[in-house]
Amino acid sequence: MSKAQKPPTKKVKLEAFAIHGHLGNVPVDYEALFSAIADMDPVERKDQVGDRVTVLPVFRREDDRYYFAAHVGTADASFLLLDLRAGTEEERALEPGKIVTRKTLGLVDPRKRVAVVQFVQQGARAGQIAMLLEKLARRINPVEYAELSLEFTPVPAEEFLEALAEFDTIKSASMRFARPNYDWEDYGATFQTLGQESGASALEVQASARRNGSLNKDGGIIGLLRDVVRKGRSMLKTATVTGNTASAAGLVTLRLDKHIETKQAEVPSTSSGQPAEAEVHKLAKQFLEERPKIEE
C-alpha cells in the first residue's frame, strides 16, 4: 500500500511594517480611516497609473484587524505565452475588464499601527498598498482626507544590528525617515517637529568618511541609526551602510530592505498553486501576535 500523498504546500514570506499617518499637522484616526475603506464597494477599491493597475478586492474587518488581498497587473488587452518545449510564442487575448495579476495578502492592525505584508515577487509592495489606501481615503472624503499622508516603513530585524556590528570601517551611511506618529517619543518628537516645520513627508541624513578614514562606529549617524533601530518601532523608510568587514573583500553595503522582520512558513496551496488565502491570513495574525509588545 503506497503512502498517502501529502497535500501541496507553498512557502510564504511575511514582512512587518510600521504604519505612519498624518492629516496635515494632526494625527490620523486609523480605525475610522480603515473602517471607511472596508465599507467601500470592492469594485471601487482600485487605482491605475499608466498601464499599471492596483486593486484591493478584499479589505475586511475581523477582530479589530483588517485583512486584505491586493492585486497588481497591467491593463494590456493580451498576454504572451511561451511554449518551453517547442520554443514558440502564443498571444492570448483577455476579455474586457480582466487583467493578469499577482496577489499579495496581509493585514493591518490600527491599534498597534503595524501592517503585515506578504512578500511576492512582482507583487504589490507595502509602499504601493499604503499609497492605494491613501488614494482611496481621498476618494471617500476629498475634504477630510485632502492632506492625508500614509506610509508603511519596514521594521528592522535583529540581524540588521548584528550585520552593522561586523563593519571594521564605515565609508558612508544614509537614512531616510518618514514623519513618525505624533505620540512617539525620543527621536520621534524631534523628527515629527522638523518634518512638520519643513512641510516634508520624509527626512534624509547622509554622511561620508574622510579619505582613508571611517565614520564613528559608536556615535554620530551610526549611533543614531543603531538607537532608532533598537526602539522597536520603525521610522526608517530606508537605510544603507557601506564599508569593510573582515569576512569580505572590497566594500560591502548593508541595506535595511534586505533585513526586515519576517516570518516564513509552508502553507497549504490551492489547485492552481496559490497559497490558501485563509491560511496566509492565519499566519499573518500569528506573526502579529508573536511580535514583542511595545508600550504605546
Which pLDDT score, from 0 to 100, does residue 27 have?
83
Name the helix (H) or strand (E) containing 22. Answer: strand 9-23
Which pLDDT score, from 0 to 100, does residue 263 have?
95
CB atoms within 10 A of CB 201: 13
Task: Say if residues 239 and 174 touch (Cβ distance below 8 Å).
Answer: yes
Nearest CA-CA partner of 107 in 155, 71, 66: 66
Which pLDDT score, from 0 to 100, does residue 66 have?
97
Residues 164, 220 within the same domain: yes
Interior angle at CA 48, CA 91 and CA 134, nearest 5:
145
**Average pLDDT over the chain, rounded to whole?**
87
Which pLDDT score, from 0 to 100, does residue 184 have?
47
Q: What is the pLDDT of residues 9-28, one digit of tens each?
A: 999 999 999 999 888 778 89
Residues 182, 212 within the same domain: yes
Strand ranges, E, within 84-196: 88-93, 101-109, 114-118, 148-154, 167-178
Rounded CA separation 99/53 (Å): 9
Nearest CA-CA partner of 55 in 16, 116, 14, 98: 98
DSSP class per residue in 113-133: TEEEEE--TTS--HHHHHHHH
Question: Could you tell me if residue 283 is inside a domain?
Answer: no
Rounded CA separation 244/240 (Å): 13
Residues 55, 183 within the same domain: no
Mean pLDDT, 10 residues at a time, the chain of 296 residues: 70 94 86 96 93 94 94 82 84 81 94 95 93 96 93 93 95 86 54 58 83 90 88 82 92 95 93 89 93 57
Residues 117, 211 within the same domain: no
Domain, as residue range, for 175: 158-258
pTM of the model: 0.87
Which pLDDT score, from 0 to 100, does residue 291 have?
81
Task: Say if residues 12 and 264 touch (Cβ distance below 8 Å).
Answer: yes
